[in-house]
Structure formats: structure tokens, C-alpha cells
Chain A
Amino acid sequence: MDAQKVVTIAPRIRIRGLGKIFGEPPNEVEALKGIDLEVCDNEFVTLVGASGCGKSTLLRIIGGLEYHTSGELSAAGKSLAGPGADRAMVFQHYSLYPWLNVMDNIRFSRRLRVNREDLCSADVEVASGRADALLNLMGLPNMANAYPNQLSGGMQQRVAIARALLGRPEILLMDEPFGALDAQTREVMHDLILHVFKLERATIVFVTHDVEEAIYLGQRVVLLAPRPGRIDTIYKVPLPAQRHQDMKHGREFLDLKKEILQRIRETSGMKTDTDLLEQFSRTAGGQ
């Protein structure tokens, strides 16, 4: 009984002193340095930061698509090496298989050996029922036979999410999944992914450059700073679990958004327009 408790309390993802160096000497680039982060079971964490802060690299390391060069990374207590079906990933675009129709895209993982071992016919039935259920959940019930290039960008991402969810992964990693969508579609997708999050009880790590998106979706917002990529601040989002679009205009939401945007500007190392204007007027005044 006690042992079980310990297992459930252990964080889903545990990152300790993680670092990543790209390239070989003398052209090394330190992409990440000393990352400490724990993501709990059934938590929604969003990663934001100025470009080049390594947020995508961190996500890809968790997904096993990149390797860290120092530190520790474990999921559910087990050390991670390489990609695995327990950590599904949704990409910004071009990840669907254009030669397969929507249904075959969603069922793609069923064709892989990891999922075919010890399989009986009842499992296959359950799996096909799950594919249908996911298609409905994503609001695409009539699209099973369509090919990806017949779908809009938003629909394509729905298929990609359904495909990632098919194998009931413990962790869902999302790398700017709505970055290429228009603002209206993105809002619809936000509510959809929150619905999925509640229904599937997954653990989600979500990378975005859109601060509003990060606050609206996340329970915690992790802000990374660049050169080298490191965790700057972790914000707890002061919103109830059940979100709705109106909250975006609320006081707490806007204050947090302002605070995070301000901090991103400070950490980005880039001069803002006002800085440049000030500098200009100072030199002009000196003459």
C-alpha cells in the first residue's frame, strides 16, 4: 500500500541538472544549462521564452529525439534514453503521412511491432473503437477517408493529436502545435486540447512562443532564458482548472501576461524600440 503511494507521488518527469551542448569543439554551443524541472502526473506545463532559449530542444530531449550531454532525465522513476511510445509528440507541421487517409494516419502506431506483440483480436477491436472515438472527439467523424492535403491546417493538427493519443501515452509533448494556425482556429484548438487533457488524464508539456496561449493552457508556465538556455522563472497560473475564453480578459490573466512578456524582453538581451530611441535621443542631445 505504502509503496504504491510513493509511485503515484513521484513526478511523471524529473529533470536534474540537465545540459545540452550542440556541436564539437571548438564550435560548441551550449543550448541548455542546469535545467531542474519536475512535471507531476496529469499536469499541464507550458514552456515559453525568447527565441533561442532552448525550449524546443528541452522538449525534444524529453521526447528522446535529442540527447542531453549532462544531467539526469527520468520518467516515472526510469531513466530515459531515446524515443518511446510512452512519450507521444505533436509537431508544428508536416508530420502527417500524406499517402495515408485520416483513419490510417490515426491508426499508424497499430502497425508498429511494439504494439503488435501479444495482441489478440479483442485488443484490435478495442483499438479500432478507440480510433473512432478519437476521430469523434476531434470533431472529424466524416473525415476518416480524406487525405491530409484535403484538410485545413487546423484539421491536420486534430488528426496529429488523435494519432499521438491512440496508444494512450503517459506523456504528451507538443512543440508549437498551433503555431501555424490562424488566431480563430487556435482558440478552438485551445479549448479542444483542454478538453482532451481533462478526458485523457495525460501529462502535457507544451512549447509555445505565444504567452497568452501558455497562460490559458498551462497550470504552470516555465520561462526559459537564452544563452545558455536555462530556467528563469516558473509561474503558477492563478486560474481555476476549468478555463474559458473570457478569462483572457480578466485582471489576473492580463497581469500575469504583462509580467511574463516583460521578463521575456529582459532576458532576451535584445534592445527594445524604446531603448534604441532613448539611446538615439541621448546621442543627438549630446551634439
Chain B
Amino acid sequence: MTTPTIVRPGFWSIRGPLSQRRYWLLAVLGLIVPILAWWLLANSGWVEKVFMPSPGSVWSRTLLWLTEDNLLQDAGISIYRVTAGWLLSAVIALPIGLLIGTFRPVQALLEPLTDFIRYMPAVAFIPLVMLWIGIDEGSKIAIIFIGTFFQMILMVAEDVRRVPAAQIEAAQTMGATRMEIIRLVLLPSSKPALVDTLRITMGWAWTYLVVAELVAANSGLGYAILKAQRFLQTDKIFAGIILIGLIGLVTDQLFRLFHRKAFPWMHKKS
């Protein structure tokens, strides 16, 4: 007796299905393999220890940093700077972006200017920022602000513009005023996209941290990385970079969690 053959989509079929088990297997593999490769490379002797510290020495350096060298204080001040710079841009960029995305005259007035400024490198503003603001906390926050603000305006404007016209027009034919359309349609409709924009720009704020801490800092993760370079402590540079990555990953996941909790209607399917 011949058994009928069932043709299943292959492993490499385009957008094909993947079982849960295989998904997690590959995900774990994707994390372990690079670490293993790193470990092998560091211990093979091909590269000098000074240039390529092993995972073990990075780990022990992290512990040493934590116990004897104020890791928590460094992380704390960096988180404060990133959050403050990002929050400041969000508070100003949200209303401006909303206005650009809502009113064509505001778009004409502000969008080309913003498009122009956002291509100016934030790093190049450091000398100006030092002249204008000085070298204390404000200047570090200002650099992170400059790095995120102009992008954020454009993203917020785009989020608001993406609200389907039919949603706005339906409200108009029900007699809604302009303010009611902004409050009851544009804002709630674009809110999930706005939270995503805030999540993405938070990531960018972290990338400007090291740049910001170039400005006469004496604490912070970025500062610690810069100082470690001076003393050729590559293991500490590794530790700092990985820590920033981890903090970024955690905030990203928190944003995603918030997104699922705040907008159940997006994640619910019948």
C-alpha cells in the first residue's frame, strides 16, 4: 500500500511557516554563535588581548566597575541625560509635528526648514553648544536634543498625516469642529504611531550619548568608554558598549509592552 505524500512548504519557502520550536532554536543560535565566535577569536591568540578582550574578562571588568568604580552612578547619569534630552524634544516636537501634519500652511512654513536642519550633524554643534550653554549638564542634554528633535518633528508630522482622510471626513459630516477633529480623531488615531515614534527616537537619543559626553563630562557610560580608551582598557569599552545596548533593549521592550497594554484594539483580532 502506498501512503499518500503530503507536500509541505519547504524550510526556505518565501514567507513560509516556521514552527515555534524551530523559531526559538534559531533565535538562541543567533545569540550564542556570535558570542562563541567572539570567545574563540579572543582565546585563539590571533588577535592581541589588548584589542580583543575575551567575554570572560569583559564580564569580570563589568563586575569590578560595579563594585569599585560607580557603574550604577555612571549608568544613572547617562539614563538621566538621555531621558531629559529625549523628553525635551518630545514635549516640543509633538505639538509642532501635530500642527505640521494638520495644517498645510504650518507645513509649508516649517517642514522645509526642519528637513534642512536635520541633515546638519549634531556632533558639529558641540562647539556652539559649549559657547552658548557652557559645559555643565545642560550642554549634554542639548546635544541629545539636537540629535533627536528635528527628526522627531518630521516623524510626528508623518504619523498625523497618515490618519485616513475618511476618518477626518466622517467626523466633519457629523458636524465636528476643527478642535474636535484634532482632539477626538487625529490624536487618538495617530497615538499608536506616535508611541512607536517615541520608541524609535529614544533609541537615537542613546546613540548621541557618547557624543554628548564628549563635552567636559566626568561621569556617565559614554564618558567611561572614552576614558577607558585613554588607558587602553578595551574590556571596559566592550562592557560600556554592551551595557548601553542592553539598556536600549530593555527600554525598547518596555515601550512595546506599553503599546500592547495601551492599544488593545490594535493587537486584538477576532
Residues in A lying within 8 Å of B, measured CB to CB: 63-65, 83-85, 87-89, 91-99, 101, 108-109, 111-115, 146-151, 160, 163-164, 167, 173
Among B166, B174, B177, B185, point to the contact of A88 (Cβ < 8 A): B174
Q: Are B166 and A93 in contact (CB under 8 A)?
A: yes
Provide the residues of chain A in CB contact with B264, threshold 8 Å: 147
Q: Are B180 and A88 in contact (CB under 8 A)?
A: no
Provide the residues of chain A in CB contact with B189, threshold 8 Å: 97-99
CA of A115 to CA of B171, assembled, Å: 13
A223 vs chain B, min Cβ distance (A)? 25
If A114-B175, A163-B170 are given as contacts, then 6 extra A-B residue pairs at C-beta distance below 8 Å, sorted by A number, are: A84-B173, A91-B166, A93-B166, A95-B166, A98-B265, A115-B175
Residues in B lying within 8 Å of A, measured CB to CB: 164, 166-167, 169-177, 180, 184-185, 188-189, 191, 263-266, 268-270
Q: Are A95 and B164 in contact (CB under 8 A)?
A: yes
Q: Are A150 and B268 in contact (CB under 8 A)?
A: yes
Smallest Cβ-Cβ distance to B181: which chain A residue: A112
Cβ-closest 9 pairs across A and B: A85-B175, A95-B166, A150-B270, A114-B175, A94-B164, A89-B173, A147-B265, A109-B174, A83-B172
Among B173, B184, B185, B268, point to the contact of A83 (Cβ < 8 A): B173
Q: Are B166 and A94 in contact (CB under 8 A)?
A: yes
A134 vs chain B, min Cβ distance (A)? 14
Q: Are B170 and A91 in contact (CB under 8 A)?
A: yes
Among B164, B175, B263, B268, point to the contact of A112 (Cβ < 8 A): B175
Q: Are A87 and B268 in contact (CB under 8 A)?
A: no
- B contacts with A: majority SS: helix
Smallest Cβ-Cβ distance to B177: which chain A residue: A113
CA of A96 to CA of B265, assembled, Å: 13
CA of A88 to CA of B171, assembled, Å: 9
Provide the residues of chain A in CB contact with B166, threshold 8 Å: 91-95
Could you show 21 A-B contacts with beta carbons less than 8 Å apart? A63-B173, A85-B173, A91-B170, A92-B166, A94-B164, A94-B167, A96-B170, A97-B167, A98-B265, A99-B265, A108-B171, A108-B184, A109-B175, A111-B184, A113-B177, A115-B175, A149-B265, A149-B269, A150-B269, A150-B270, A163-B174
B190 vs chain A, min Cβ distance (A)? 10
Q: Are A149 and B167 in contact (CB under 8 A)?
A: no
* A97-B185, A99-B188, A149-B268 known; A91 vs B175 contact (CB < 8 Å): no
Pick the most buried of A87, A93, A95, A164: most chain B CB atoms within 10 A of its CB: A95
B67 vs chain A, min Cβ distance (A)? 48
CA of A95 to CA of B176, assembled, Å: 14
A234 vs chain B, min Cβ distance (A)? 25
Q: Are B172 and A64 in contact (CB under 8 A)?
A: yes
Smallest Cβ-Cβ distance to A97: which chain B residue: B167
CA of A63 to CA of B268, assembled, Å: 34
Q: Are B164 and A108 in contact (CB under 8 A)?
A: no
Pick the most buried of B169, B170, B171, B180: most chain A CB atoms within 10 A of its CB: B170
